[in-house]
Amino acid sequence: MVFIETNNEMTNDFVSNKQRLFDRWAPSYDCLFPSVIYQAIHQRLLKYVNLPPKARVLDMGCGTGRLLNRLASQFPNLHGTGLDLSSEMLRFARSSNCHHPRLIYLRGEADTLPFAENQFDAVFSTISFLHYLHPEHVLNQVARVLKPHGSFYLVDINCPQFLEPYLQVFQTTSAEAIRLYSRESRQQLGANAQLKCLGHHSLLTPVLLTVFSK
């Protein structure tokens, strides 16, 4: 596992670059081929989701809000918050919010979550963890905002050979901008943040779900 040493300026550049890329991608995000894959992933993820009645959930890096709409349809008493770096992604999420006011969307960064501790029964992250510069900070934040025994559903690409098309979308060859985590490194990162790994499930060949509990 590689942790990247950064100063504030590097971190700000990294985050603004990501924001620009996702703002640019937002208008076509739900129409392009990767979206078909993402929606298949969301559908398969539901099979493993276990929530208490009236669950409060956070979707970190929520993009256009497709996963939260699906969760809110499946769990009629759920309240969800979507958080994303990209204002443009959030604009589309708000305009396709089928469950207002049960679902709300906020702009923010995953490594400084703007919530008090012990707020959520579950946190979701689908195909966004690979973008985080400081994964260890993000996991500490997830552990902080989860209620005791709450769940973290981490879904990400885990096969390097499937990264190539993704790097093309981002017009970068830099694997530094996107990082993949094996089963072992997910487990280790979780343990460092006091999150217990309950298991891994393949959702698609290159996409792995890891479930953690606080």
Ligand X SMILES: C[S@@+](CC[C@H](N)C(=O)[O-])C[C@H]1O[C@@H](n2cnc3c(N)ncnc32)[C@H](O)[C@@H]1O
179 — alpha (psi -120 to 50), left (phi > 0) or beta? Answer: beta
**Site map (CB under 6 A) of ligand X, residues 147-186, x = contact:** ----------------------------------------
Q: Considering only residues 22, 92, 105, 181, which one is a binding residue for ligand X as defined by CB under 6 A? A: 22
Beta-carbon-side half-sphere exposure of residue 4 (alpha carbons within 13 Å): 16
Contacting ligand X within 31-60 (CB under 6 A): 38
Contacting ligand X within 89-148 (CB under 6 A): 89, 109-110, 126-128, 131-132
CA dist., res. 151 & res. 148, Å (int): 9
CA dist., res. 173 & res. 182, Å (int): 20
Beta-carbon-side half-sphere exposure of residue 151 (alpha carbons within 13 Å): 17
Q: What DSSP element (H or E) covers 154? A: strand 146-157
Q: Which stretch binds ligand X (CB under 6 A): 63-71, 115-123, 181-189, 196-204?
A: 63-71
Q: What DSSP element (H or E) covers 93? A: helix 87-95
Instruction: With CB under 6 A as the rule, give the number of residues binding ligand X.
Output: 20
Q: Considering only residues 49, 84, 135, 153, which one is a binding residue for ligand X as defined by CB under 6 A? A: 84
- Which pairs with CB-CB distance under 8 Å and at least 24 residues apart come from 201-206? 201/48, 203/41, 203/44, 203/45, 203/155, 204/37, 204/40, 204/41, 204/44, 205/159, 205/162, 206/157, 206/158, 206/159, 206/161, 206/162
Q: What residue is closest to ligand X based on CB?
A: 63
Query: Least distance (Å) from ligand X to the CB of residue 25?
Result: 8
Residue with smaller CB distance to ligand X, 1 or 32: 32
Using rule CB under 6 A, residue 63 touches ligand X? yes
Residue with smaller CB distance to ligand X, 38 or 212: 38
Query: Least distance (Å) from ligand X to the CB of residue 99?
Result: 17
What is the contact surface with ligand X in residues (CB under 6 A)? 15, 18, 22, 38, 61-63, 66-67, 84-86, 89, 109-110, 126-128, 131-132
